[in-house]
Structure 1
Amino acid sequence: MPGTPCWVSLTTQDMRAAQDFYGAVFGWAFGPDERTEGHVVAHADGEPVAGLVESAQSMGVRLPIAWTAYFVADSADAAAARVRERGGTVAVGPLAFGRGRTAWAADPLDAAFGIWEGPAAPGWQAGRGTGAVAWLELHTRDPFASALFYGGVFEWDAHPDVIDVRYEHDRVMLRAGGRTVAGMFGGVPDSADAAIHPQWHVHFCRDDVDEAAARAVSAHGTVLAPPQDTPLGRTATIRDPEGGLFHLSSIEGETS
């Protein structure tokens, strides 16, 4: 569905080390991305869940170590134009990439995200199961303003029968087909000098959040927020050995 999450990708400077770490935490298996040379796809239970790419190979641009969330668009060019119209920036693209077109952009508060036009990865779906993406969450200063920006860029109101935006759990929630796929949380200080900056965060499904956090530490990761019970399930915040931030979540994308 246009406007909904369709993929997540980790930019790393050491592909082998990244595979070792995430394989230890999630039990992922890895293989080449048949759509794009030089990229690696992580699989959970045989299904694709995430991509990995070394920063030097990312469209010729060296990117920071981070997880990037991608959203599907009918037209990457049209979506990129709407980003600019609404005060965001387009850093790369749109350009041909594998069997589709993509662009890397940032919203008006500089939270990075990707735009994808083309066939989705077969079997990928947020909230599908253990080891897959549970959901995405934007940490920002004003979740309502952010919802207006992303809703305009990806035309959420064009699909009212499938896409629903609502406020709950102190967040703006995006549902697609009755399943929560993304949220926007206003927990970032309203200061350009703050240590915490607006950013899309990736939550991965884990039934065993405590055990997975322990595996992350054993694999030389860092637990930034220890496992705890929240209104959104049991969660933990982890930083991988290179600095990539992600979350563990016991909820597989809540359904209504």
Structure 2
Amino acid sequence: MKSDGTLHTGVVTSQSVFGAPCWVSLTTRDLRAAQNFYSAVLGWRWAPGTRMGEHYRVASVDGVPVAGISKTDFVAKTAVAWTAFFAVASADETVARSQERGGTTAVGPISLPPGRAALLADRDGAVFGIWEGDLVAGWERWRNAAPSFIRLHTRDAFDAAIFYGEVLKWATSDPGCCEVDYEENEVVLRSFGDVVARIHSGALGAAPDPALRPHWQVHFTVDDVEACVRAARAHGGAAHQQGIGSVEALVIDPDGARFSVTSRTAR
């Protein structure tokens, strides 16, 4: 980290931006079909994840790695879904804090050079990942290339914010930690002034929705939401847009994984 609080553009570690989302990864049953779909919808290019083996692929935008895809039978038979990973200073300590506060551990921590990772779930069952080590593309380059933010849909935003704040060490006095605010019925997470995550559970004072299945949803920034919707439908997926000209749409890939596309102008 530079003396003015900004980040170097070279190698950045998870300790520099701990608590912030730093990577997203998809588990799918069909790697080839997933690559074709996301290339058509988001314009991604692909390369083998050499350190992760033949069942892992890395997507890039303008040469910047932005996401990973693995087969479900490769990573502990996890469900078909997008998973957001948060940067942490210590995977072991983060797992311990999560378990102490009622979270569960699905995988890890395991060594995945150049770092260590684990898959966890919060008290309400929302799955998330943690990463300790060098960041694949550097934090600023990754943030600018693909994801706009991630949003947790949960039953109680304040309870979730307390859990994640304690587990991921948000709003501490440590340099590089994330800041937390409450804006327009959402808990908003910022890292170096940039909105990186939101936690939503409905209007202030509303009763928790018992039918809601808590989950983190990834939002990718795009230049043309409607073009993404058309491409998704044309390549075996589904998309739901609130109306023509909407700045956001929910997209479901052919394997059932859900994500959102958000207009770059709405960031």
TM-score, with structure 1 as normaliser: 0.89
Q: Contact 1:21 / 1:219 at 8 angstroms: preserved in 2? A: yes
Q: What is the aligned-residue identity percentage?
A: 43
Residue of structure 1 equivalent to 2:229: 213
Residue of structure 2 equivalent to 1:104: 119
Structure 2 counterpart of 1:2, one-letter code: F
Gaps of 5+ in 1: none
| 1:115 equivalenced with 2:96 (yes/no) | no
Q: Contact 2:29 / 2:72 at 8 angstroms: preserved in 1? A: yes
Structure-1 separation of matches of 2:147 and 2:191: 15
SS of equivalent to 1:83? helix
| 1:243 equivalenced with 2:256 (yes/no) | yes
Q: How far did 1:169 drift?
A: 2.8
Q: Contact 2:25 / 2:82 at 8 angstroms: preserved in 1? A: yes
Structure 2 counterpart of 1:142, one-letter code: D
Change (3 A) 1:72 1:227: farther
Structure-1 separation of matches of 2:25 and 2:208: 26
Residue of structure 2 equivalent to 1:89: 104
Q: Contact 2:66 / 2:137 at 8 angstroms: preserved in 1? A: no
Superposition CA RMSD, Å: 2.0
Residue of structure 1 equivalent to 2:199: 184
Aligned residues: 244
SS of equivalent to 1:20? helix
Structure 2 counterpart of 1:66, one-letter code: A
Change (3 A) 1:167 1:228: farther
Q: How far did 1:174 drift?
A: 0.2
Change (3 A) 1:33 1:160: same
SS of equivalent to 2:39? helix
Change (3 A) 1:161 1:228: farther
| 1:40 equivalenced with 2:57 (yes/no) | yes
Q: How far did 1:98 drift?
A: 2.7
Residue of structure 2 equivalent to 1:133: 147
SS of equivalent to 1:217? helix
Structure-2 separation of matches of 1:139 and 1:218: 28
Structure-2 separation of matches of 1:111 and 1:56: 21
TM-score, with structure 2 as normaliser: 0.86
Residue of structure 2 equivalent to 1:200: 216
Residue of structure 1 equivalent to 2:84: 69
From 67, 70, 75, the equivalent of 1:50 is: 67
Structure 2 counterpart of 1:150, one-letter code: Y
Q: Contact 1:220 / 1:240 at 8 angstroms: preserved in 2? A: yes
From 77, 94, 103, the equivalent of 1:79 is: 94
Residue of structure 1 equivalent to 2:172: 158
Residue of structure 2 equivalent to 1:19: 35
Structure 1 counterpart of 2:94, one-letter code: A
Structure 1 counterpart of 2:26, one-letter code: L
Structure-1 separation of matches of 2:31 and 2:86: 24
From 237, 240, 253, the equivalent of 1:224 is: 240
Q: Contact 2:156 / 2:208 at 8 angstroms: preserved in 1? A: no
